[in-house]
A and B are shown apart, each in its own frame.
Chain A
Amino acid sequence: MLYKNKFMVAVPAALLLGGLATTSQAATLDDVKEQGSLTCGVNVGLAGFSAPDSDGKWQGLDVETCRGIAAAIFGDPEKVEFTPLTAKERFTALQSGEIDVLSRNTTWTATRDNSLGLNFTATTFYDGQGFMVSKDLGIESLEDLNGASICIQSGTTHELNLADYFPSRDIDINTVTFDTPDQTAQGFAHGRCDVLTSDTSQLSALRLQLPEPDSVEILETLISKEPLGPVVRQGDDQWLDIVQWSIFAMINAEEMGVNSDNVDEMRDNPPNPGVARLLGQDGNYGEQLGLSNDWAYNIIKEVGNYGEVFSSTVGEDSPLKIQRGMNALWNEGGILYAPPIR
């Protein structure tokens, strides 16, 4: 940047403008290395994606993605500072340079990608907007929701989807908007609304917070596509590539059968040239990113491949028990597909 923030401190608007002026346009990688840690924006609390566990340690799919990126840069997954953000705060935090990467179940949309000065990197979770209702209401389809009150989180794509979906089908609904997933779930639990709507993954997580999880059901109909994944600032291609290829490395590792248990063995005796390239035994794919050549090895060794992370955070080994479904690999019936490392 041409201008530095000499005078900004005195100005009330400094909070926003100062932030925009100070973070340098390119070379987020250098900044991160200088800080000694990655600053990662995550959800304020959403089981399976990002929530502190009983020891106060952040856990979840979005959190592990951040740890993966940190492992790629530093070889150490713990070099991450987590910044909890609400849906409304997230983009400003990224734009102003408060965080280096936003990994917070954020839907990839045209507006967000094109006019907010942001770049989406990859999809870590394919989701859709669903509906959770109390079982005793006997709801079978969305048509039955005529006249219902729907609890929703403000500042999400869900608000827009609802207004697209229901009026065009002449179904009359009332929305009740809350700030955080937690407040939304409370509103639903207290009966402020009949229906809770969100990404189905979030619904599975929120359901576990209810006093009686078995009294509710998640309807099968989805009304939208919600590709969720990490976001970075526009204008720093190297940084975009690092975040993107860290995720691709995790997906490729699963596809090649490389996991945190066998990664050492695989590195020493690569079973095929693909694994050799992934684990830095052939080529200089890490160096191309401005990282060390064992970047992918570090991710897999420290954090695991995509499948391992999925199953321990949201999948079968987690309380959420979300099926792989769409999020299975392309060759296993899903749509998860990472470009090859070569």
Chain B
Amino acid sequence: MSRSPSGDRVALWRNPAFRAYVLQGVLLAALAALIGFIVTNTMANLEARGISTGFGFLDERAGFSIPQTLIEYSGDSTYGRTFIVGLLNTLLVSALGIVVATIIGFAVGIARLSPNWLLARLAGAYVEIFRNIPLLVQILFWYFAVLQALPSPRQSLSLLEIVFINVRGLVIPDPQPLSGFAATPWALLVGIIAAITLGVYAKRRQARTGKALPIYWLGAGLIIGTPLLVFLLTGAPLEWSIPELTGFNFSGGVRVLPELVALWLALSIYTASFIAEIVRSGIQSVPEGQVEAANALSLPGGITLRKVVIPQAMRVIVPQLTSQYLNLIKNSSLATAIGYPDLVAVFSGTTLNQTGQAIEIVAMTMAVYLVISLLVSALMNVYNARTLLKER
């Protein structure tokens, strides 16, 4: 044994780094063995009980219908496709919810700090009411108390006889593109690119000369104006399918399910109350001196808020906002209470029940939520890194 206290050669087992590796390795092996044990045990149990296993069921005919599908789907589609349909429905309501919750949340959060007494109190009341009522209760409230109290299709409320609201949802005219319409989306893309370019130019110009361009108005003009101009120049190649009451229901038009609306409203309003508090705390975390300094430069209130306060507040807001977004996505699984066909309802609900493949389906569902959450988290972290205070 070559032991030397002064240390050019130490026994392997006395090397801390080596010992750490061995320990970690043993731990990893134990974990792998445990997982292996669980898997084999489960398989053995399932086998013994005659419960079929595997993912083969994904190719089988589903044989049930789904009321809202963003992609082509019928009862003849496979269980694999119900998975995609459910996933897209979950993503749809989550995305809609995140957008609206963010808008309401920021508005209420800022309003809560308003010097206007009434506005501040109303915002405070909003937060306290919607933050403290369980989400499920709110979903059921919107669905059963509000939307289900609407009139039947025959007595629909209508707007100019082209938009109809009834207990079955909202029916709006459906645009049917004719030939030549394809130019319009391209024009929209051009408009967006032009607006971004203009934005970059305006920023440089302001840095150079100190003069600001009315960038929001110009940008909006470019993004809306360009496609509109092209649309009109190509002879407005769009036909509208106007909803019409035939028999039981409206034919033509696009229908927005009341289940989607109820879930969207509840998720947005509930999550917004948390976002409002996050925004408030973020703004309050910005030192008073920053606002005073802006005032001393006689910056208008709006610009102070937009260019001085919010950018600094974002550093506090973003990490918490991420959690709220994740919560919203996960909470969308409460859809099953009112029959909105989200992933949990159609896949880990109906599909699980029809096939009985509990383990596979629950695993897939969990994996989906995990992946969505990690993706959102990663995106928000990228954003967070970019808005971090740059120490120079």
Query: Which residues of A come within 8 Å of B, CB atoms?
Result: 1-3, 7-8, 11, 13, 16-17, 20-21, 25, 87-88, 91-92, 95, 111-112, 114-117, 145-149, 154-156, 159-160, 162-164, 167, 173-179, 183, 186-187, 190-192, 194, 233-235
Counted as pairs of residues, one from A and one from B, with CB atoms less than 8 Å apart, the total is 153
B121 to chain A, nearest CB (A): 35
B61 to chain A, nearest CB (A): 9
In the bound complex, residues from chain A placing their C-beta under 8 Å from that of B42 are 17, 20-21
Binary contact readout B251-268 vs A (1 if CB under 8 angstroms, 0 otherwise): 100000011000000000
Cross-chain contact of A2 among B44, B149, B249, B355 (Cβ < 8 A): B44
Q: A167 — nearest CB in chain B belongs to which residue? A: B75
Whether the Cβ atoms of A147 and B248 lie closer than 8 Å is: yes
Whether the Cβ atoms of B248 and A149 lie closer than 8 Å is: yes
A151 to chain B, nearest CB (A): 9
Whether the Cβ atoms of A234 and B350 lie closer than 8 Å is: no
In the bound complex, residues from chain A placing their C-beta under 8 Å from that of B249 are 147-149, 174
Q: Which of B45-53, B214-222, B305-313 contacts A (4 or more CB under 8 A)?
A: B45-53
Whether the Cβ atoms of A178 and B339 lie closer than 8 Å is: yes
Q: Which of B62-70, B184-192, B284-292, B322-330 contacts A (4 or more CB under 8 A)?
A: B62-70
In the bound complex, residues from chain B placing their C-beta under 8 Å from that of A91 are 353, 356, 358
Residue B376 is within 8 A (CB to CB) of chain A in the complex: no
Q: A160-B64, A179-B339, A234-B50 are in contact. Are A112 and B345 (CB under 8 A)?
A: no
Whether the Cβ atoms of B356 and A112 lie closer than 8 Å is: yes
A234 to B49, CA, bound (A): 6
Q: B362 — nearest CB in chain A belongs to which residue? A: A16
Kindly list the 9 A-B residue pairs having the minimum CB-CB distance in the complex, ordered from nearest. A163-B75, A155-B353, A117-B51, A190-B148, A117-B49, A116-B356, A159-B64, A115-B52, A20-B45
Q: Which of B33-41, B125-133, B226-234 contacts A (4 or more CB under 8 A)?
A: B33-41
A235 to B45, CA, bound (A): 11
Whether the Cβ atoms of A154 and B345 lie closer than 8 Å is: yes
A25 to B249, CA, bound (A): 52
Query: Which residues of B come within 8 Å of A, CB atoms?
Result: 34, 37-38, 41-42, 44-46, 48-52, 63-67, 74-76, 144, 148-149, 152, 167-168, 246-249, 251, 258-259, 336-339, 341, 345, 349-350, 352-356, 358-359, 362
Cross-chain contact of A192 among B44, B74, B148, B362 (Cβ < 8 A): B148
Q: A154-B350, A192-B168 are in contact. Are A117 and B64 (CB under 8 A)?
A: no
Q: A195 — nearest CB in chain B belongs to which residue? A: B248
Whether the Cβ atoms of B358 and A163 lie closer than 8 Å is: no
A27 to chain B, nearest CB (A): 14
Cross-chain contact of B248 among A7, A87, A111, A194 (Cβ < 8 A): A194
Whether the Cβ atoms of B258 and A192 lie closer than 8 Å is: yes
Whether the Cβ atoms of B152 and A191 lie closer than 8 Å is: yes
Whether the Cβ atoms of A164 and B63 lie closer than 8 Å is: yes
Whether the Cβ atoms of B339 and A177 lie closer than 8 Å is: yes
Q: B356 — nearest CB in chain A belongs to which residue? A: A116
Whether the Cβ atoms of B45 and A1 lie closer than 8 Å is: yes
Cross-chain contact of B49 among A95, A154, A192, A194 (Cβ < 8 A): A95
12 further contact pairs, Cβ within 8 A, besides A17-B359, A92-B352: A8-B38, A17-B42, A20-B49, A21-B41, A146-B248, A148-B248, A155-B350, A159-B354, A163-B65, A167-B74, A175-B65, A234-B50
In the bound complex, residues from chain A placing their C-beta under 8 Å from that of B350 are 88, 154-155, 159, 177
A228 to B163, CA, bound (A): 45
In the bound complex, residues from chain A placing their C-beta under 8 Å from that of B75 are 163-164, 167
A234 to B50, CA, bound (A): 7
In the bound complex, residues from chain A placing their C-beta under 8 Å from that of B38 are 7-8, 11, 13, 17
A146 to B46, CA, bound (A): 43
Whether the Cβ atoms of A235 and B353 lie closer than 8 Å is: no
A21 to B45, CA, bound (A): 7
B67 to chain A, nearest CB (A): 6
Whether the Cβ atoms of A88 and B65 lie closer than 8 Å is: no
Cross-chain contact of B64 among A7, A8, A163 (Cβ < 8 A): A163
Cross-chain contact of B168 among A149, A154, A160, A163 (Cβ < 8 A): A149
Whether the Cβ atoms of A175 and B67 lie closer than 8 Å is: yes
In the bound complex, residues from chain A placing their C-beta under 8 Å from that of B246 are 147
In the bound complex, residues from chain B placing their C-beta under 8 Å from that of A8 are 38
Cross-chain contact of A7 among B34, B48, B336 (Cβ < 8 A): B34
Q: A147-B247, A148-B248, A190-B144 are in contact. Are A88 and B353 (CB under 8 A)?
A: yes
In the bound complex, residues from chain A placing their C-beta under 8 Å from that of B356 are 91, 95, 111-112, 115-117
Cross-chain contact of B353 among A16, A87, A145, A163 (Cβ < 8 A): A87
A112 to B247, CA, bound (A): 38
In the bound complex, residues from chain A placing their C-beta under 8 Å from that of B168 are 149, 192
In the bound complex, residues from chain B placing their C-beta under 8 Å from that of A111 are 354-356
In the bound complex, residues from chain A placing their C-beta under 8 Å from that of B251 are 147
Whether the Cβ atoms of A117 and B358 lie closer than 8 Å is: no
